[in-house]
Each structure stands twice: as C-alpha cells, then as structure tokens.
Amino acid sequence: MSAVNLFVSSRMRSIVHRLWLCVVFVAASACSSAKPTYVPRDPTLRTLPLYFYPSTTSNAPKAILFFFGNDVGFWESHERLALRLADRGYDVVGFDIKQYLSKLPDDAAVRARTFQRQIVPLIARSAAELHADTLPLVIGGHSFGASLAIWTAAHTHPAHLAGVLAMAPTLRSHFFITASDLANLHEPTEPGSFGIADVVRSIPPSVRIALVRGAHDKRLAGDSAIRVAGGPRLDYTEIPLSGHSLKALTLAGPMIGNAMDWIILGK
C-alpha cells in the first residue's frame, strides 16, 4: 500500500472514530436520567404527584417554580426542563396535574372549588419543603397545565406570587382531561370551561406573564388575544423550529430559561 493510501486510510479511521465518539456522547446525553432524586422530608408530600428539583447552583435560588405538567402527566421533557431550570438557579416543583385531577369530584363546579381550595396549601407546603417559602413564586405549566397555571394565578392568592410561565397554553380549558384534550381535537366549550384570554385579565396587575409558544404550534394564531389581555406586563417568546410539545430543548430550554429570568430579574 502506498504512503498516500496509508495516510488516507489512517485519516478515515480517525474521522470514523471521532464520529463514533460523537454518537456515543449524544446518545449518553439523551439517555441520562432527569428523574428527580430528592425525596421530601414531609410524609404528606411523598404521597402526592410532586417532583422536587432543588437549585443546583452554589448561589441562593432566584425563585421557586411550581410547574404543572400537561394532560399526559409530568413527562420526560418536563423532567429535563425542570433539571435545566434547577441548573439555572431555580427551585422547581413538578406537579402531575393528570394524576391530581383524577382524584377530584366529578361535578364540574365542585371540582373547580376543590382545586381552588387545595392548590394554595399544596404550593405553600411544597415551597416550605425546599425552604423556599420566602422566595418569589412563579406558577408555570405546559399546554393544559399552562392554562390551569394561568387560572390559578387569577383565582387564588399564593404568597409571593411574582409571575406566570405559560408554555403553549390551550386557548380554552377546564378541570377535566378528556379524549378530545388528549387528541387536540377542539377546545372545550361546556359550562365551567373558560377562555384563557379572559382569565389573564383577572391576574393581579403586579404579576408578570411570560407566554412561550413554538413557532409551529397550531394554536399560535390565538395568542394575539392573550397578548392583548396581558398588556405591557406580558412578555412573548416564539421559539423557532418548535411545535406544541416544546420537547426539543436545544433551543427551547435556554429560551424558556430567559423567560424565567425576565419574570424574576426583568431581563
């Protein structure tokens, strides 16, 4: 074999080796668990669908985010986002709203009142668990969970509420998870359902609202009404190349982190 061929062969082996290392690194990163490892000291919290991600930075946490999952649950992309925000200096408590709602009464009015009565003590108890009960509070959520986070900010009075992080909210919502919700067929219109823009108007004016939406989300066009309702205390982030799920966090993760920083730090 000529020296040139030997060089080419060696060069190709080097390139293949580097590509293989890249594949292994990416696969390892993708498979690394974002499951929470924190076990609450409070025995009551251990019985609830809550997932704790204390801030991992050396500085004091900037705020606490109470993070509603969606109508599927608190799933893997929510876990990865919670871990990213913890790495950014936020205490995060994930909340599986699907599991929680499955235990509430069937009557729509009773269900809404029960949720309203229970959610503030639940948030307070979760914040106390992380010694975060004096920190600014952000209520956040994704999709169905974002809509209920907005409702919570409008209709309850949790301590130290600073903002709402609404990631891809539905345009209308209710306190039930139906087959139509799971299939994204249409927005609910039954008695007891509510329009998100209407609810946003009821959020106290001191509370900032960060609305985050993927550029390919089919609900994108409906955001204009929510933005008008939010007025100047609402900040809007449209994430390129993202759909409703916001599960690709390469772009969405940092931009959602920036939205959190805007709520708490004003930048």
Residues 6+ away with beta carbon under 8 Å from 257 = 84, 85, 88
Q: Residue 95 belongs to what domain range? A: 36-265
For tokens 């608190």, the residue is: 74
Same-domain check for residues 106 and 203? yes
Nearest to 80, CA basis, from 202, 252, 238:
252
Summarised one tens digit per residue, pLDDT across range 90-113 is 999 999 999 999 999 999 999 999
* 84/98 same-domain check: yes
The mean per-residue pLDDT over the stretch 69-87 comes to: 97
Whether pTM > 0.85 for this model: the answer is yes
* Residue 199 near residue 154, CB atoms below 8 Å: yes
Domain identity same for 108 and 167: yes
pLDDT score of 245 more than 70: yes
Same domain, 125 and 147: yes
171 and 219 in a common domain: yes
Do residue 56 and residue 151 come from a single domain?
A: yes
Span 155-159, mean pLDDT? 96
Whether residue 1 is found in the same domain as residue 109: no
Mark whether 64 and 24 lie in a shared domain: no
pLDDT at position 84: 97
Residues 6 and 134 both lie in one domain:
no
Residue range 30-41, pLDDT digits in tens? 445 689 999 999
Residues 82, 18 share a domain: no
* 113/119 Cα distance (integer angstroms): 10
What is the pLDDT at residue 184?
A: 79
Q: 164 and 249 share a domain?
A: yes
Q: In this structure, are residues 165 and 237 in contact, taking their beta carbons and an 8 Å threshold? A: no
52/32 Cα distance (integer angstroms): 18
CATH code of the domain containing 147: 3.40.50.1820
* Cα–Cα distance measured from residue 158 to residue 63, given in angstroms and rounded to the nearest whole number: 14
